[in-house]
Amino acid sequence: MNDVEKVMEQGYAEARIRVRYAETDQMGVVYHANYLVWFEVGRVEFIRQLGMDYKNMEQEDGAMIAVAEVTARYKAPARYDDELIVRTSLAGVRGSIVRFRYVVVRAANALDDEVVLCEGETVHFVVGRDMKRREMPAAYAERFASVVHRMVKAD
């Protein structure tokens, strides 16, 4: 099964991250803003696993996805050297607005099951180089629509 089929079947993409020492605070806990960076890692990987390329969307289509809103709910701390999995899904698309959902978990190991550390969402507007709203490039709109359609059918 290729990445696109896997994302379509699961409804999400996964990105693995190892917590670096520099991402922790004096208490040895991951600083909260790092989750936003990991959301971006998950979002870019989600787009990649759907067979698209965010870099090409910027360079060839002149379209970028600007963050308009972020929510994060912290449930448990991540610590240095934890292996994390960022699960990213498409929460919705409407015109030039796209919403992504994230679940960050500590990966299961020989001693413990997975633990949900953080859940969040980001809302984005598609903009041009001039930072004005524009249409989403057709290839991305079509692929996102197929993901949303598949999710609705699964429910």
Rounded distance, CA 24 to CA 77, Å? Answer: 10
Angle, alpha carbons 83-89-93 (nearest 5°): 155
- Positions marked catalytic: 25
* DSSP helix/strand/coil, 40: helix
Record the tokens describing residue 19, joined without a space: 């917590």
Which of these, 120, 107, 98, lies nearest to 32 by C-alpha position?
Answer: 120
Helix (H) / strand (E) element for 123: namely strand 115-127
